[in-house]
Structure 1
Amino acid sequence: MAGMCCGFVGEGDSSANSRPSRRRNLDMLPFKYIADMTVAPSGTSRKRRQADLSGKKDFESCEGSNGDRGNEKSKKNKNESSKVSENKPSTEGNLEDGEFPKFGVTSVCGRRRDMEDSVSVQTSFYEELFHFFGVFDGHGCSHVATMCKERLHEILKEQINESQENFEWNSTMQQGFARMDDEVQRWNSSSQTVTCRCELQTPHCDAVGSTAVVAVVTPDKIIVSNCGDSRAVLCRNGVAIPLSFDHKPDRPDELIRVEAAGGRVIYWDGPRVLGVLAMSRAIGDNYLKPYVISEPEVTVTERRVEDECLILASDGLWDVVSNETACGVVRMCLKAHMMTSPAESPANNEVTTDGSDQACSDASILLTKLALARHSSDNVSVVVIDLRKDQRPTSNSNYNLIN
C-alpha cells in the first residue's frame, strides 16, 4: 500500500508489514472527519457565506460533511457586476447568472498517521459570481497545505485585480501559484517558530510541500489549475472528463523535463524524483528545485447545460477509484435526492439551517468510504460541486439511477 502514498518514501502505515497488526490498529483508531464552516457576518446574504474547510475540528467519524447551497439569482445589479475592466474575466454567462454552486466536502485521515490534506471553499471570492474550490495534499508535514488553504484564493484575487490589460486565465493562475510558492519559500527561510510536526525535521522545513488542484467556477467557465497528483474530473452527460492530469515522475513529458534540469527519476517503491518524491510538481519542496516545480497546468472549460458535477480530490481517492466510478457514484447520489420528495429531503430548493447540501455531502462521504473500503493508504479529501440547474422529476416512475 505504501506505493500509493503521494509523499515521501516511508510515509505509509508503519504496520503494513503485519496484516493482523494493521487490523488491530484500524479497530482502535477511528477515522477522522475534518471540517470547519466559516459563515459570513450577520446581515450578509446567505449566498455569500464562505466555507473554509481546514481541518480545525476533529470528529471521530467520517459520517459528516459540509457544503453550501442556493439557487436564487444574484441580488447584485448586472451593471454593478460589469464594472470589471473589459480585459478582466466577465461575470456574465449564458447559464443562469447568480447561480450559487451547491457543494459537499469530506476529508478523512484514513490509515495515515497524520492528517496532511487541507480543503478550501471560498464562495463569491471575486465579483459575487466567481467561486473558488481547492484541495491541497501535503507531504512531509501539513503546514504548506495549510498555507495554500489560507492564502491561495487571496493571491488569485489579487492577481485578477492587477491584470489591467490582456487578462488571460492561464497566466493569472501560473503567476498566482508562483507567488504562493515564493511565500512558502520565504516562510521556510524565516525564523518563525514551527508549530507543526515536520517529518524530516530540517532547520527551515525546506523538505515540505503540497499538491494543489484548484477550480474557479464562473457562470460560463470552469478554470482548473493543477500542480501535483490531486485531480479534477467533470461529469458531463454521464461521461467522466478529466480537467487535470497527474504530474507523476514517469509521465513521459515530466520525465524529460526532470532529466533536462539535471535530475533523475529513481524507481523506489514507484517512480520518485531523486528516489524521494512521488510527484514531479508541487508547491514547496525547496530542496528538490529545479526538478520539482510549482508551475501548474491550466484548463479552461466552457460550461454546458449537460454538465452535472465537478469532483476535486486528493490522490487518496484516485489511487483506488477511477474517474468513471467516481462520477457514477456522484450521479447516483444526485439523482436519488432528486427523486426524494421535498418534504423528506433537504436537497430541495431551500438551504438547510447549516448551509449544507445533502446530496453533494452524501456523495463526498460515499466516495471517501469507497476509497477506504478499497484500502486507500492515504488521506482522502473530496469536494463535490453540483453544476446542474435545480430540477426535480415530475413523477417517481422508472428513473434510472446509474447509467
Structure 2
Amino acid sequence: MGAEAEVMVQLQHTIPVLDVPCCSDLDVKSPESTILQFIPSIRSGSFADTGPRRFMEDEHIRIDDLSAHLGSLMKFPKPSAFYGIFDGHGGPEAAAHVRKNVLGLLFSDTNFPETSEVDDAFLEGVESSLRKGFLLADLALADDCNVSNSSGTTALTALVLGRLLMVANAGDCRAVLCRNGEAIDMSQDHRPNYPSERRRVEELGGFIDDGYLNGILSVTRALGDWDMKLPRGSASPLIAEPEFRQIVLTEEDEFLIIACDGIWDVLSSQQAVSLVRRGLRRHDDPEQCAKDLVMEALRLNTFDNLTVIVVCFTSPDHQELSPMRHRRLRSCSFSAEALYSLQSWLDNKGSH
C-alpha cells in the first residue's frame, strides 16, 4: 500500500543528526530553503524468501501511511510511515510474536508522543518511546508461555515522521540510505566483532568464542533468548536495548533499504544501493527491486532466510531518465560529390 504526502510539517528547530562515528558525514548539505520545500512521497515494496534454510524465521511489517493505519486517535506529522524486520533464531515464535504486537508495544503501551510539529522535545519523546517498546517486547517474550526461552529475534524499525527518518536497531539487520547514489549506513550491525559491543560484553562477564557471544549466538543484541539472559533487573551481556540514528530527509535522499543479515552476508551496502537504483531507473517498482536483491543474494550463495524492504522517498516523476533516453545521436558527413549524386537520384525518383 502507498500514500502520497498531503502536507508538509514546518520544523520549529533544525533536526539534529545523531552524533555517531559512522554517521558523522550525514550533515544536511542542501540550503535550508531547499530542505523546507521537500516533502517525502512515501511508497514501498518488500519481498521475502526462505532461501536455503528449511524453515522461515523472518517476519516484517510495512506501513506506508501510519496515521491512517492507527486511526484518528493518533496525531503524527505527515507523511508518516513505519517499517520493521524481525530476524528470528531458535525457532519462529519470537519473531512472530514481536511482529504481531509491535504496533501496540511502540505506539500505545509507551504513550507515544503526539503532535503535528517536530521539535527537540518531540524527538526525545519518540526515541524514549521506541526504546521502551523494544524493552517491553523483550519482557513480553519472557512472559509468553508459547515462546520458547531459546527463541529470539533481532529487530530493526524505521520510522518516517514528516522529513524525519529515525532508525532503531537491535541485532544485525541493516538499514541503508541512498543519497545521490551513495550508500549511507543508518544502523550498525551488533555482532561480536564490533569493538564497542565486544567491550560491553566482556565488561558484563560475557565472552566471545570464534565470533559467537558466549560461544552460542552470532549477535550481541536481540529480543528474547531468555535462556542466555540473566534474571530480570540484572545486567546481561545480551541486551535488547536499541541503538538510534536519525536524519532529515532532503531531495537528495532517494530510498531506504532495510534487510536481514542474509543479504548483507553476501552484498555490501553500496552494492545493494547500486542494484536497487538501477532497477528503479528501469521500472520504478520498489517491490521488484526488493525481489531483485533477494535473487542476487541467492545467486551469491547466501545461507540464510532473506527479507528486504525498499522505501522510496520521491515520486516517480522525480526519477532520473533511463540511460536509454540519453543515447547520443551519431553524426556523419558527406562529400560534395556524394551529395550531388544523392540529389540527382532524388530528382530522378521524383520524375517517375
Q: 1:281 to 1:174 in 2, by over 3 A?
A: same
Offset of residue 249 of structure 1 = 1.1
Aligned partner of 1:277: which letter?
A: L
Cα drift, residue 163 of structure 1: 4.2
Considering only aligned residues, what root-mean-square deviation do their CA atoms show, in Å?
Answer: 2.6
1:172 Cα deviation after fit: 2.3
Q: Which residue pairs with 1:183 in the alignment?
A: 140
Structure 2: how far apart are the matches of 1:207 and 1:266? 19
Using structure 2 for the length normalisation, give the TM-score. Answer: 0.74
Distance (Å, rounded) in 2 between the aligned partners of 1:96 and 1:154: 31
Aligned counterpart, 2:4: 71
Taking a change above 3 Å as real, the CA distance of residues 119 and 287 of structure 1, as seen in their structure-2 partners, is same
Distance, in Å, in 1 between the alignment partners of 2:241 and 2:224 is: 11
Q: Is 1:217 paired with 2:160? A: yes
CA distance in structure 1 between the aligned counterparts of 2:36 and 2:160, rounded to whole angstroms = 13
Matched, 1:240 2:190: no
Match of 2:104 in 1: 154
Q: 1:397 aligns with which of 322, 325, 337?
A: 325
Match of 1:118 in 2: 59
Query: Post-superposition shift, 1:182?
Result: 1.2
1:249, 1:133 → 2: CA distance? 26
The residue that corresponds to 2:221 in the other structure is: 281
1:177·1:294 contact (CA, 8 Å) conserved in 2?
Answer: yes
Judge conservation of contact 2:38–2:251 (CA < 8 Å) in 1.
Answer: no
Aligned to 2:262: 316
| Deviation at residue 281 of structure 1 after TM alignment | 0.3
Structure with max Cα Rg: 2
- Structure with bigger helix share is 2
Instruction: Decide whether aligned partners of structure 1 residues 95 and 156 sit closer, same or farther in structure 2, where only a CA change above 3 A counts.
Output: farther
Is the Cα–Cα contact under 8 Å of residues 228 and 280 in structure 1 kept in the other structure?
yes
Q: 1:292 to 1:72 in 2, by over 3 A?
A: closer
SS at match of 2:139: helix
Distance in 2 between residues matched to 1:100 and 1:283, nearest whole Å: 32
Query: Structure 1 stretches of 5 or more lacking a match?
Result: 1-67, 195-203, 338-346, 348-358
Q: Secondary structure at the match of 2:66?
A: strand
Q: Deviations over 1:223-249 (max 9, x none)?
A: 000000000000000100000000001
Contact 1:132 1:153 in 2 (8 A): no
Q: 1:96 deviation in Å?
A: 5.3
Q: What is the distance in 2 between the residues matched to 1:151 and 1:207? A: 19
Percent identity, please: 31
1:257 to 175, 178, 200: 200
Partners of 2:221 and 2:212 lie apart in 1 by 11
How many residues align? The count is 283
Q: Does structure 2 conserve the Cα–Cα contact (< 8 Å) formed by 1:135 and 1:230? A: yes
User: What secondary structure sits across from 1:287 in the alignment?
Assistant: coil
| Structure 2 CA distance for partners of 1:393 and 1:175, relative to 1, 3 Å | closer
Partners of 2:251 and 2:327 in 1: CA distance? 20
| Cα deviation code 1:310-347 (max 9, x no counterpart) | 0000000000011001000111011112xxxxxxxxx5
- For the 8 Å contact 1:221–1:301, the answer to whether it is kept is yes
